[in-house]
Copies of this chain bind each other. A is one copy, B any other.
Amino acid sequence: MENAIVDGSTRLFGIVGDPVTQVKTPQLMTAIFRAQGINALLLPFQVAQEGFEAAMRGLMSLRNLDGLVITVPHKVRACGLVDSLSPRADQVGAINVMRRLPDGTWYGDMFDGEGLVRGMQKQGFSIEGKRIKQLGAGGGGSAVAVALAAAGADTITLCDPRQSLAQGLASRINRFYPRRPAGVTADSAGTEGYDLLVNCSPVGMRPGDGMPAPFGEFDPSLGVVDIIMHPEETPLLAHARRCGCRAMNGKPMIEGQLESFCNFFAIRQP
């Protein structure tokens, strides 16, 4: 296609979320397609919760659309739309990627957790043997907790205002990883006795958001991870840095995932 950006033969991929302006996957993946001479684009698709299934069925029926990345707030519901799941996605109960198989059915997988763990390890956070407190037990949170358990966390304590979500996720971790006990707490702000604090709630993403809990001073030995990517420094991360903590945002999580997306969508890696 010479240097045209798009033509009638362009294959389509997308990222489905709401909001969607903050996502970085379109420019990152599209740059990879172009570097490899592949006539494809990865587009932002803003899909509201209302009418989600209808919008997804519409996208999935496009004959020139080959795969979708799924982001907040759709990772759990998207799980119900695919015909088959990886074992990992089945453990998590949510997906963040889906692709059309040669037989026309759709297959889902979940890379959020392993992406974050790989990013943490690169940034010098150790997970093995650590006592972890995690805020948020939705789609992204489930993926992170399962991956933290798989990476050898000592204990994982979950806090989510949707108590049944937190309880369900703890039970799932205890079933799949019986040596990594998971529990729940209603105390969102306490960090005493923990080595790592991981925020998987969306609080901090929207302008005007504060911290996801009314935190006091952190001990400088506490590691703090916020899976939010935009803004780059959430109020939680700003607070953590002021307290002298090692802190990390969600950017390494998605950067760690690009390689997984390429493999999943069967693109030669950059």
Which residues of A from 21 to 47 have beta carbons under 8 Å from B? Answer: 21-24, 26-27, 30, 34, 41-47
A162 on interface, CB distance cutoff 8 Å = no
> How close is A19's CB to chain B, nearest CB, in angstroms?
8
A58 adjacent to B54 (CB under 8 Å): yes
B63 adjacent to A47 (CB under 8 Å): yes
> How close is A257's CB to chain B, nearest CB, in angstroms?
16
What class of interface size applies to chain A in its complex with B? 35 or more
Among A43, A54, A57, A65, the most chain B Cβ lie within 10 Å of the Cβ of A43
**Whole-angstrom distance between the alpha carbons of A8 and B61 in the complex?**
22
Q: Assembly of this chain: how many copies?
A: 2
A4 on interface, CB distance cutoff 8 Å = yes
B59 adjacent to A10 (CB under 8 Å): no
A18/B63 contact (C-beta < 8 A), A23-B8, A27-B6, A27-B7 known: yes
A19, closest chain B residue (CB):
B8
**Whole-angstrom distance between the alpha carbons of A24 and B8 in the complex?**
7
> How close is A55's CB to chain B, nearest CB, in angstroms?
4
**Whole-angstrom distance between the alpha carbons of A47 and B62 in the complex?**
5
A61/B44 contact (C-beta < 8 A), A8-B24, A24-B8, A26-B6 known: no
**A-B pairs with beta carbons under 8 Å apart, 13 shown:** A6-B30, A6-B41, A6-B43, A7-B44, A8-B22, A8-B23, A10-B44, A12-B43, A12-B45, A41-B41, A44-B64, A45-B64, A55-B58
Other A-B contacts than A6-B26, A10-B43, A59-B59, 19 sampled, CB-CB below 8 A, are: A5-B5, A5-B27, A5-B30, A6-B27, A7-B26, A7-B27, A9-B21, A18-B63, A41-B41, A43-B43, A45-B62, A46-B62, A46-B64, A47-B61, A47-B62, A48-B63, A54-B54, A55-B61, A56-B58
Which residues of A come within 8 Å of B, CB atoms? 4-10, 12, 18, 20-24, 26-27, 30, 34, 41-48, 51, 54-59, 61-65
